[in-house]
Amino acid sequence: MDFLGRIFKFLFWLLIVSWSVALLRRILAWMLRGAMPAGTEQAGTGSAGDAAGLKSGDTESGVAARRLVRDPVCGMHVAEVLAVPLRKSGELVHFCSTACRDKYLSKTERVAANG
């Protein structure tokens, strides 16, 4: 019966391993999904580019790509590259969505009509 015992032990460990692998994959997928918005920057090439950019002076574009802008309508912080830009009387405003931009536009129009 030692043989059967070993098989059961093996099956038990197989179950544990497959279960933990499935769990790990779930955790990994969750972590990857959580890191996705900020993880668009490549750690290796990004830092090298920043170091080079600091000297050449074009670091501004690199910083702008990662800069967070604040939506004045809902107060949400959005990455500038993902935000909806709007140039209003020479001022550049960013929004999280076109809905917020429209809300902002209708609000400022009302203010302009009142003033």
Q: Does 78 bind Zn ion (CB under 5 A)?
A: no
User: Cβ closer to Zn ion: 49 or 76?
Assistant: 76
DSSP 8-state secondary structure symbol assigned to residue 78: E
Strand partners, 68: 79
Q: Which range, of 56-64, 81-89, 91-99, 104-112, touches Zn ion by CB under 5 A? A: 91-99
Instruction: Look up residue 57 and give its DSSP letter.
Output: S
Residue 95 CA, chain-centre distance (Å), reads: 16
74 contributes a contact to Zn ion by CB under 5 A = yes
100 binding Zn ion? (CB under 5 A): yes
Q: Which stretch binds Zn ion (CB under 5 A): 9-17, 24-32, 57-65, 72-80?
A: 72-80
**Strand pairing report for 84-88 and 91-95:** antiparallel
